[in-house]
Amino acid sequence: MAAAGLSAKPPVLPGFDVWWKGIAAFLHTGGKRGSEWLALPPCAPVVLIVVCGGFYGAVMASYNGFEGSRALMVFYGAVKVPLLFLATMLTAVPSFYVLNLLLGVGDDFRAVWRGLTDYQMLVALQLMALAPVTALVNFTHGDYRTAQAWSTLMFAVAGWNARRSLHASYAPLIARNHVHQRLSQVWFVLYAFIGVQMGWDLRPFVGTPEMPVQFFRDHIGNAYIEIYRVLQTFFYEFVNRFSVR
């Protein structure tokens, strides 16, 4: 039918089963792209990150329901989670690339970049799988703090679990040059450090019922300082409760 050169090229829009096979192989190997992946178009990682991340974002933002302007919040959620991933990558990658260059492994960066994309993709896939649970928590808990804490916890779990993919893609690199071992750890710390602040900058994701629907909150602030304040308040309350007057 088609010429040999043409048939070797992956179709532009592969069917669902092709996608499923690629994703299943990716998961079963602990976050490595197998031969099944070749059937997917080159933009497949981006598509998966946007679709899965967006889906989770929409579920997370559905806490306040879908009435009126709250439906807009669901849409914002779907846009903002991929945006969070993208912005974190774009912020963290330049410094990481320079560090790779300085440590003399700049030539491996193509493989490293692929590993970083795989990591991101695995985070998105896990969030997609956890979306039904988050939907249940959002639906059943009247309490905003619980919904917020749950969503944050899911991000932490997915991010922590996805290190598996990072290990898988870094293993051959580490075998070649041991400096990659340290670099993969540096990436994880850098990514988490920037990701937390980025998540804070891009809030609201769940949306307090008392505050209006906004794409971004007006006050930006610093996530770490805010966390410190929350802990401080918590500590004082704790001390006050148990201290004898």
Partner 1 sequence: MSSIAVSILSWPAFDALLRGRMIANERVRLMLSWIAWQGLCAAVFGLSLGVYSISSRAEPDYRFMLADVVKMPMLLFLTSAVTCPSLYVFGALRGLRFSAREFAAMLMVAHTILAAVLGSLAPVIAFFAVTTTSYSFMVVLTVVACAIAGILGVRTFIKAINEPPDDVQSSPVADTNGETNSTESPGMFSRPAHVNQNIWRMLGWWVVLYVFVGAQMGWILRPFIGSPELPFIFFRGKGGSMIESLLYHLHKLFGA
Tell whether residue 145 is a contact of partner 1 (CB under 8 A): no
DSSP symbols for 184-222? HHHHHHHHHHHHHHHHHHT--SS--TTSPP-SS-S----
Site string for partner 1, 161-190 (x = CB under 8 A): x--x--------------------------
Burial of 146 (0-12, 13-18, 19+ CB in 10 A): middle
Tell whether residue 231 is a contact of partner 1 (CB under 8 A): no
| Minimum distance, C-beta of residue 120 to partner 1, in the bound complex (Å) | 15
Tell whether residue 140 is a contact of partner 1 (CB under 8 A): yes
Burial of 107 (0-12, 13-18, 19+ CB in 10 A): exposed
Which member of 106, 132, 172, 209 binds partner 1 (CB under 8 A)?
132
Contact 222, 208 (CB under 8 A): no
Quick count: other Cβ atoms within 10 Å of Cβ 100? 22
237: left (phi over 0), alpha (psi -120 to 50) or beta: alpha
Tell whether residue 133 is a contact of partner 1 (CB under 8 A): yes
| Minimum distance, C-beta of residue 155 to partner 1, in the bound complex (Å) | 14
Nearer to partner 1, 131 or 198 (CB): 131
Tell whether residue 209 is a contact of partner 1 (CB under 8 A): no
Site string for partner 1, 85-124 (x = CB under 8 A): -------------------------------------x--
Alpha helices in 68-162 (DSSP H): 70-102, 109-140, 144-161
Binding-site ranges for partner 1 (CB under 8 A)? 24, 27-28, 30-31, 122, 125-126, 128-133, 135-137, 139-142, 161, 164
